[in-house]
Amino acid sequence: MAATPLGEDSYPEPLQTRQRGNAGLWRVMVLGVSLVLIAAVFSFYGERIPADVTLTFVGLLAVAGVFCLFGLAAGLFKFANGEEKRTVSRAVVDSLPYGAVVADRDGKISYVNAHYGTFAGAIVGGVPVGVSRLFAGQSEASEAVYRLSRAAKDGRSAIEDIRLIGGLGGSHTDASRPFWYRVAVRPLPDVDGGTKSLLVWSVEDITRDRENNESAFRDLQRAIDYLDHAPAGFFSSDAHGRIQYLNSTLSDWLGYDLAEFNSGQLSLGDIVRGDGDSLLMRGRGDGEIGTEIIDIDLVRRNGTALPVRLLHRAARLAEGELGETRTLVLDQSSAPDSEEELRAAEVRFSRFFNDTPFAIATLDTSGRIVRTNAPFSRIFKWSGEQKSLELQPLADLIGEGSRERLARAIVDAGAQQSAIEPVDALLTAEGDHAVRLYISGSEMSTGSPERVNVYALDMTEQRKLEAQFAQSQKMQAVGQLAGGVAHDFNNLLTAIIGFSDLLLLKHKPGDPSFSELMQIKQNANRAAGLTRQLLAFSRRQTLRPQVLELSLIVDDLTVLLKRMIGEKINLGVEHGRNIWPVRADVVQARAGHYQSGCQRARCHA
């Protein structure tokens, strides 16, 4: 039905409005009486009042009169009449699709729009009643009305949704049908110089909106129930691998309580075995939405494996980032007995292919990657995304030093050679990663491009252990050599110190040669100390712990260190206060201070 435009007389008129008061009339009367009194004063006391005061007063009255005339001509002032015209604010309130009541905090009504009168019980004896009285006698609305009344008394805003069986006044034919009303109150600023703050009450029938929302909610609940109890599992994850949704069927298969599941609580790594989550998170490089078929094992909550087939869909966003994924899960452990044996063999092969602890890839005759398993993506840092339609060669993922041997091995595998030497290579990805590639030929069907199988073992940790073992052997050899040299040198120093003591017995302190003999003995003792340090380094000396003063040991080594560091480096020693004594072997303590001093000297150099 076409809507017809409404004229000015077709808009609803308010049920009640506050009439214009007599304040304007009283102001005019007061002004007139004042002017009469002033004229009387001038008539009785005109002789006593100076002429300039009289002229000034008359001039002010003339100026005020001229200003009023100009204001009236400009529209600043208007002549009041007894009829109250419809203003913009009144037009807005009168055309509201819900009831509106303006009252003060004591409940005295000032304005009521026409829509308010459509509610049953809103008009009693031809006079509109307040909102509190409108819902009086409704036990279901008593608490909400009380809260609204308290908010009105305090001058606060409040809103309540009230549910009534049968509606207001029980005027509806269906007495068992629930009706909803939205009641709100909010304060208004003071108008017309009023001393009491006004409040606006609104009453809106929202039954139809509630019914539509409840109907949509019931439809959504049915759709979720259909998905939850579908004969197949379903889950969705975000771009970071956090599971956002898990249906009831899949949660039962995995042993999780759906009532305790929260969005983002689980990740793909919690339910996908091994490195299978990398297969679900790589998406397609062209940004299109495509469905992949992946046979893999999921992990139940008790740690057991669940063989499944995934119908997985993941897409890239316009910015190149991975979007949300949708995955349908088919249980392969309870497949029908009538399924073909070929299909069962394919499922078993896919499980073995993706669950193996080492990387597997199939290549064509040119050495380009056709298919990979999950560990391949982790070890080679390969996302599987191609920027073009060409397949990526495996040689691009390893260092240049091994590419020639890999090319020869691929040629031998294409010729179905049985004995192919493994290829050791370093990866081009970040970090020092090493792999050993085992390559063999593949007899596939005519339509398949897969001709070469590549098995890759991560040798990074083994290479590190080998390097550490070789270094330890070198250090052991150095220690043995140092111990042997120190032992022989110690024998020579023993003879030097012994002969020095014999010479000192023959030369008294006053002898000119006594100081040179003392220097020989002191330097021999220092050399003996270095020898003991070398023996301690080679672990061939017995430790003798004793209480030591660190400051004395440092001073003893200062002279030796100054000679070793050279003339360009200055060595300064500052002892701390209240240094505690330590219990240690004196030779090891000196060796430690000596090594620390040499390292600091090299850093400064």
Total residue length of the chain: 605
18, burial (CB in 10 Å: exposed 0-12, middle 13-18, buried 19+): middle
User: Which range has highest mean pLDDT (200-209, 353-362, 407-416, 584-593)?
Assistant: 200-209
Mean per-residue pLDDT for 275-292? 66
468, burial (CB in 10 Å: exposed 0-12, middle 13-18, buried 19+): exposed
- The domain ranges of the chain are 16-74, 90-212, 229-341, 356-458, 474-541, 543-605
Backbone angles phi, psi at 490, to 5 degrees: -65, -35
Homologous superfamily (CATH) for 229-341:
PAS domain (3.30.450.20)
- Structure confidence at residue 603 (pLDDT): 42
> What's 339-374 look like in SS3?
CCHHHHHHHHHHHHHHHCCCEEEEECCCCEEEEECH
Whether the predicted pLDDT of 184 surpasses 90: yes
Architecture of the 356-458 domain = 2-Layer Sandwich (3.30)
CB 587 within 8 A of CB 546: no
Closest by CA position to 117, among listed 109, 126, 108: 126
- Which DSSP helix (H) or strand (E) runs through 105? none
Mean per-residue pLDDT for 299-325? 78
Whether the predicted pLDDT of 72 surpasses 80: no
Whether the predicted pLDDT of 3 surpasses 80: no
- Beta-bridged to residue 220, according to DSSP, are none
Tell which wins on pLDDT, 77 or 451.
451
Residues of the chain with pLDDT > 70: what percent? 77
Q: At residue 589, what is the residue type?
A: A
Joined tokens for residue 485: 């040299």
Q: Tell me if domain 90-212 and domain 356-458 are identical in fold.
A: yes
CB 452 within 8 A of CB 441: yes
Distance CA 482, CA 537 (A): 8
- Structure confidence at residue 390 (pLDDT): 60
The CATH number given to 474-541 is 1.10.287.130
The CATH number given to 90-212 is 3.30.450.20
Least confident stretch, 353-357, 429-433, 596-600: 596-600
Residue with tokens 């129930």: 225
Whether the predicted pLDDT of 474 surpasses 80: yes
List, in order, residues 6 or more apart from 425 with CB less than 8 Å away.
Answer: 398, 399, 401, 402, 406, 434, 435, 436, 437
pLDDT (tens digit, 9 = 90+) per residue, 100-154? 888 888 888 888 888 888 888 888 888 888 888 888 888 888 899 899 999 988 8
- Beta-bridged to residue 362, according to DSSP, are 371, 453
3-state secondary structure of 559: helix
Least confident stretch, 278-282, 317-321, 563-567: 317-321
- Beta-bridged to residue 309, according to DSSP, are 295, 330
Joined tokens for residue 594: 């000596």
Joined tokens for residue 403: 């590419």
Exposure string for 474-500, b = 16+ CB within 10 A, e = fewer? eeeeeeeebbeebeebbeebeebeeeb
- Structure confidence at residue 147 (pLDDT): 92
- Beta-bridged to residue 181, according to DSSP, are 162, 205
**Helix 550-565, helix 586-604: angle, nearest 10:** 40
Distance CA 562, CA 580 (A): 26
Exposure string for 199-208, b = 16+ CB within 10 A, e = fewer? bbbbbbbbbe
- Structure confidence at residue 18 (pLDDT): 60
Whether the predicted pLDDT of 42 surpasses 80: no
Mean per-residue pLDDT for 378-384? 75
pLDDT band at 1 (very low <50, low <70, confident <90, very high): very low
**CA distances for 208 relative to 211, 312, 565, angstroms:** 5, 41, 94
Beta-sheet strands, E only, within 391-535: 423-426, 434-441, 452-458
Pairing of strands 423-426, 434-441: antiparallel
Joined tokens for residue 349: 């092969």
